[in-house]
Amino acid sequence: MENILKNVDNETLIYASATFVLLAVLYILITYTLRKLGRNPKYLIPKDAMKRVMNPLLILFLSLLIRSKSIHSLLLLSDFSPTITKISTILIIFSITWLIIVALKITKKLIVHNYDVEASDNLRARKIYTQFNILERIFIFLIIILALGAALMSFESIREVGISVFASAGVAGIIIGFSAQKLIGTILAGIQIAITQPIKFDDVVVVEGEWGRIEEITLTYVVVNIWDKRRLIVPTTYFIETPFQNWTKTSSDILGTVYLHTDYRVPFKELREELTRILKDTHLWDGKVNVLQVTDSKPQSVEIRALMSAVDSPTAWDLRVLVREKLISFLQQNYPESLAHSRVYIAQGTEVKNNIKEDKNN
């Protein structure tokens, strides 16, 4: 160490020391400020933000430090300055990219945290969550592409290749467009879903005849959590090009229906009163819709529809099952003649005998 200091003039030592002290002070001030802001509930920065920011911030300051010419002279590395500068440039690009991605994730977490997706009326929360979930992936993808481009363009040889590639960008663009049109279409569909939102996170949908909830939305595919715990993976283009059912597009509340096929002797008044009693005795009903209607009459039976409302589709399903069971039990116990029957009319005895004789003669 003493030999190194002897070969370095005082000016270089001063510049190197000043650079080190300045960067160290800046790093300490930034980390201290972030810690204080994270601990104070008045501010929006979460407590774990400091842990996530510390590593990329440390790499950024170290890359700035090794970029200093005075540090090169102090460590007798002036002959390797071009190589060290290139390494420093790549580290700066890497650390800044990392910082931007971390900041983006922290911002998303702060905004989404203000909206409760688990609430009963969570339409706005699901809209915000869907938009930020997809846009976050888009921005991260673009940031990484730009960072890779900036890192590669820092090399002279690659920059010359890049200029020649740009010169033939028209032909290359046509070739890439034809070969990757499905991929590009899928990514554009993901962006369109983020903007127009035909589906949102936790939406209840019917896709390919399967009932389920939107569990994950990416740029290229959507995961639907089927009611029996299966997962249906659907490309994002499906929700742009193919009709599908969205039960929670504008609100989560939904109407449920129960159909009964009964005899013509069914007492409609008593059945309506029983439906009202069943709905009032259960927490599954939201108290809005309670209707019983005769929707069809057939030669052997009458079709009755019970219409009721619930806060969401899973609750509506449980309510429909309950009402169907209770109404059938009510008819069985009190009006068994109201259950659907198959009638057979037998002719008088003389007419039966004549028919038998005719059959024997034939």
| CATH (domain of 148) | 2.30.30.60
At 131 the pLDDT is 75
Judge if 140 and 245 occupy the same domain.
Answer: yes
Q: What is the pLDDT of residue 284?
A: 92
Alpha-carbon 117 to chain mean position: 11
Which of 70-79, 264-273, 278-287, 314-323 has the least mean pLDDT? 70-79
Looking at residue 332, its pLDDT comes to 92
81 and 163 part of one domain? no
Do residues 137 and 240 both lie within one domain? Answer: yes
Identify which of 122-131, 198-207, 325-334 has the greatest average pLDDT.
Answer: 325-334
Radius of gyration over every alpha carbon of the chain, rounded to an integer in angstroms = 36
Tokens of 305: 């529809």
Beta-bridged to residue 221, according to DSSP, are 235
What does the pLDDT read at residue 240?
87
Are 105 and 149 found together in one domain? no
Domain boundary among 225, 250, 275: 250
What is the domain extent for residue 243? 133-250
- 168 and 213 in a common domain: yes
DSSP state string for 208-230: TTEEEEEEEE-SSEEEEEETTS-
Judge if 203 and 246 occupy the same domain. yes
In a domain, 121, yes or no: no
In terms of average pLDDT, the best of 157-171, 175-189, 312-326 is 312-326
pLDDT recorded at residue 5: 44
Percent pLDDT > 90 in the chain is: 20
The pTM (predicted TM-score) of the whole model is: 0.54
Q: What is the pLDDT of residue 6?
A: 47
Looking up residue 301, the CATH number of its domain turns out to be: 3.30.70.100
Has residue 122 been placed in a domain? no
3-state SS, residue 67 = helix
- Tell me if 127 is assigned to some domain: no
Co-location of 31 and 85 in the same domain: yes
**Is residue 279 over pLDDT 80?**
yes
pLDDT at 331: 93
- Domain-located, residue 20: yes
Query: Is 240 in the same domain as 260?
Result: no
Which residue has better confidence, 290 or 120?
Answer: 290
The answer to the question of residue 126 being in a domain is: no
In a domain, 353, yes or no: no
The Cα 107–Cα 99 span in angstroms is 12
pLDDT digits (tens, 9 = 90+) for 13-24: 555 555 556 666
Q: Please, which pLDDT band fits residue 184 given cuts at 50, 70 and 90? A: confident
In a domain, 211, yes or no: yes
- Same domain? For 204 and 268 the reply is no
One domain for residues 141 and 68: no
Picking from 19-23, 48-52, 139-143, which range would have the lowest pLDDT averaged per residue?
19-23
237 and 154 within one domain: yes
The reply to whether 356 falls in a domain is no
Whether residue 142 sits in one domain with residue 37 = no
DSSP string, 136-187: HHHHHHHHHHHHHHHHHHTSHHHHHHHHHHHHTHHHHHHHHHHHTHHHHHHH
Domain count, the chain: 3
Task: State mean pLDDT over 57-79.
Answer: 66
Q: What is the pLDDT of residues 148-160, one digit of tens each?
A: 877 777 776 666 5
pLDDT band at 62 (very low <50, low <70, confident <90, very high): confident
Domain boundary among 250, 269, 297: 250
Mean pLDDT over 27-49 rounds to 60
- The residue ranking higher by pLDDT, 341 or 228, is 228
